[in-house]
Structure 1
Amino acid sequence: MPGTVHEIHEARTDTDIGPALAERLRQSADRTAVTGQPDHETLAELRGSGLLATAVPREHGGTGGDASDVNRVVERLAQSNPSLAIMAFQHFAVSSRITEWGSPAQKRDILPRLADGTCLAASAWSEQGAGAAKRNLSSTAVRRPDGAWVLNGSKSFTTTASVADVYLVLVRTGERSEIPGSGYGAAGQTFFLVDASNPGLAPDLSLDLVGMRGSATGFVSMHECVVAETDRLGPEGRAAQIIAGVRESGASLGAVAVGTAQAALDLLVEHLRRRGQLAQPVVRDRLVSMATRIESARAVVERAGARSSTDPGTTTLHSKLHASEVAEAVCLEAVGMLGSAGYTTASSLNRLLADARAVALMGPTNALCRELVASTWSN
């Protein structure tokens, strides 16, 4: 829409997405909470906003942002629309993987389109039975005599399914074997970039999610899905190495949680202001406590993005754990403070609570985060 790109670029220094766009995103979040379907019109605004260029290097048409920039943009998006924030986060993740591991041709062809929003990216890693650590993949890629690969299998809980233009798909290309200390993935796994127009690829939005209902999260099946050798991302059989570098980057799903928690607090404060309750000491005390917890979560997410700790990867795991737990606690307390007004389907706080809970289940799940953190003590 007119003015949207200007709003974003004028606000780039402080990551403010602009009040007009923020309001449209909030309205979209309320609509999709009811429909459970992606909002194509608002998604088009995100594509044209300039924000999707954040994680793409300048030489390929992006803004050259680092993990701190990614986390700040994602947090601000989540304050208005957590579903779109998680879609943007996945887009940034794929952008970063191509920047780090892509061939010169992949960078030249895909990165500029990821930056200008004509290409929206999604990650398709999870599948039923693979486990939280993605070690037991059943989806496969088999190389044909002519050098092409044939992918077969099904992916679950793929965010941006059906609306993405390219999918970063994780499949098994060799025998599975453990990689000591990896914690995520296994040897014999490979990444491929699969175009959404591939006739062997079929997205399915039949998942009826409780939270993140506008995130187009669903299944992606591959049946005799033929891709070229040039579509492989990174070395064959070494996807676990690529995955290990993801958390080292400092980009954190905790940013989604922080934005969600902040949105809940803002809604609560406004509601209490309208009811004339902000002057009550007990109310103010609880609000300050909630705000302090959000600031603590924001601080650890910022530390993860800055990669300033002695172990940035572990800090990123901590940031996701802490921020998601804070977000759920803050949203739950906010709903409770509203009393009966908080227990209606019309309350945006209930949507935010469901969205906050969803972050804990996103990969790496909180259970896996704890396992990965604990493993550092025995290494």
Structure 2
Amino acid sequence: MDFRETDEQRALRASVAALAAKYGHGYWVDKAKSGEKTTELWAEAGALGYLGVAVPEEYGGGGGGITDLAIVCEELAAGGCPLLLLVVSPAIAATVIAKSGTPEQKKNWLPGFADGSLKMSFAITEPDAGSNSHRIVTTARADGDGWRLTGGKYYISGVDESDATLVVARLEDARTGKLRPALFVVPTDAPGYTYQPIPMEITSPERQFTLFFDDVKLPADALVGGEDAGLGALFAGLNPERITVAAYGCGIGRYALSKAADYARTRKVWDSPIGGHQAVSHPLAKAHIEIELARLATQRAAWAYDQDDPSAAEAANIAKYASAEAAIAAVDAAVQTHGGNGMSTEYGVGTLYGAARVGRIAPVSREMILNFVAQHTLDLGKSY
């Protein structure tokens, strides 16, 4: 097992870091507070090939893996520009279609993922089915040569800037009459598909939405991979989601620590910089160690996924847990280092509290990760 990055991956990391520095945290905050989108950054990242690093080469992508996409997520966040839609569109939706889509679906959708001209949101959560996806009630039924979709979703990211939404629904099995998972690509302008924003106490250019599907008519090829692909197609996107969220958190932590260290080296309250005092330096050093451990866990998880290693699910959950804990601790230490300045927009650390804190909740809560490890790794039985 060798986690050393290739020359190409090191070059990718440096190039993405340079792009993030070009825009900077101020750009990200301004977009978030004005209600605008990070359109320029997304377009440039797409034109440079960063959004499509994990898309197969035959569809215009880089032909890499989740390891490469995690590098992109981490470096943009480390430059102060964490983009949540990187997790949703390239990591989840593109991976699901690349692994489970029909040849025609791959041809239709993957080139847009590769160059960034396409954004696709992902909808699984429902008001009465958060962590328990078995309670999903959004349902698709056969209708002539297509489908009818009915139901709703909750806390779905970036719908207002997406061309389509990859929706997890339930499909009636004609043989058994039971409902089983199925994924549908639903254009955001489809008649009967409406959505409304959820007011959030978080600084982020990407907004959250409640979705409504009122008997939405879909063509036959909206069903990803056919009627038997549902569960496998869904699982194909969940581990990449956890891994890229972990990378996103590691980047946020790195950014916060960089800002805090710069401040601590120059800020003088008495006769010397505050960074020389252990009450300031030790929390930052501890946070750095925790971020580096989370980065290692994330690299291992990405490696396992790209190698089709059976440990990938556990590794992805561990990485996501470690990153979320490390990120919020790093941001908190950075804010404390800045004192009152830590809560000002000018110094650029307090603005990341929400983005870091949400990692403990989504896309899977830390409690559900602990349940997974307790049940599947430690064989302690199911507790929920």
TM-score w.r.t. length of structure 2 = 0.85
Q: Does 1:240 align with 2:236?
A: no
1:68-90 Cα distance to aligned partner (Å, 9 max, x none): 11111111111234542x21111
* Paired residue total: 358
1:327 deviates by 0.7
1:232 deviates by 0.5
1:304 deviates by 0.4
Unaligned runs of 5+ in 2: 1-7
Give 2:85's aligned residue. 87
Give 1:207's aligned residue. 198
Give 2:167's aligned residue. 169
Partners in 1 of 2:49 and 2:343 — Cα distance? Answer: 37
Give 1:154's aligned residue. 152
Q: Secondary structure at the match of 1:143?
A: strand
1:315 deviates by 0.9
Q: Report if aligned partners of 2:342, 2:350 keep a CA contact under 8 Å in 1.
A: yes
Partners in 1 of 2:368 and 2:156 — Cα distance? Answer: 18
Give 1:370's aligned residue. 370
Q: Report if aligned partners of 1:94, 1:121 keep a CA contact under 8 Å in 2.
A: yes
Give 1:333's aligned residue. 333
Q: Secondary structure at the match of 1:14?
A: helix
Q: Report if aligned partners of 1:15, 1:73 keep a CA contact under 8 Å in 2.
A: no
Give 1:197's aligned residue. 189
TM-score w.r.t. length of structure 1 = 0.86
Give 1:294's aligned residue. 291
AA aligned to 2:159 is A
Matches within 5 A, 1:126-137: 126-137=125-136
Q: Does 1:321 align with 2:318?
A: no
1:349 deviates by 1.3
Q: Does 1:261 align with 2:253?
A: yes
Unaligned runs of 5+ in 1: 1-8, 176-185
1:253-274 Cα distance to aligned partner (Å, 9 max, x none): 1111101111110111122233
Give 2:4's aligned residue. none
Partners in 1 of 2:209 and 2:329 — Cα distance? Answer: 27
Partners in 1 of 2:225 and 2:364 — Cα distance? Answer: 21
Give 1:5's aligned residue. none
1:60 deviates by 0.8
**Alpha carbons of 1:237 and 1:35: their partners in 2 closer, same or farther (altered >3 Å)?**
farther
Partners in 2 of 1:124 and 1:297 — Cα distance? Answer: 27
Partners in 1 of 2:154 and 2:235 — Cα distance? Answer: 21
Partners in 2 of 1:221 and 1:236 — Cα distance? Answer: 23
Q: Report if aligned partners of 2:264, 2:275 keep a CA contact under 8 Å in 1.
A: no
1:353-379 Cα distance to aligned partner (Å, 9 max, x none): 211001222122222222222220337
**Alpha carbons of 1:212 and 1:15: their partners in 2 closer, same or farther (altered >3 Å)?**
farther
**Alpha carbons of 1:107 and 1:80: their partners in 2 closer, same or farther (altered >3 Å)?**
same
Partners in 2 of 1:35 and 1:262 — Cα distance? Answer: 26
Give 1:116's aligned residue. 115
1:202-258 Cα distance to aligned partner (Å, 9 max, x none): 232x21222352113222322221111111013426533333343455834111110
Give 1:231's aligned residue. 222
Partners in 2 of 1:34 and 1:66 — Cα distance? Answer: 33
1:328 deviates by 0.7
**Alpha carbons of 1:25 and 1:192: their partners in 2 closer, same or farther (altered >3 Å)?**
farther
Q: Report if aligned partners of 2:25, 2:81 keep a CA contact under 8 Å in 1.
A: no
Q: Does 1:251 align with 2:246?
A: no
Give 2:3's aligned residue. none
1:343 deviates by 3.0
Matches within 5 A, 1:4-83: 12-19=11-18, 21-81=20-80, 83=82
Q: Secondary structure at the match of 1:50?
A: coil
Partners in 2 of 1:280 and 1:89 — Cα distance? Answer: 38
Give 1:280's aligned residue. 276
Partners in 2 of 1:229 and 1:318 — Cα distance? Answer: 38
Matched-pair identity in %: 22
AA aligned to 1:138 is V
Partners in 2 of 1:368 and 1:37 — Cα distance? Answer: 34
Give 1:104's aligned residue. 103
Over aligned residues, Cα RMSD in angstroms?
2.6
Q: Report if aligned partners of 2:80, 2:255 keep a CA contact under 8 Å in 1.
A: no
User: Deviation above 6 Å: which 4+ runs of structure 1?
Assistant: none
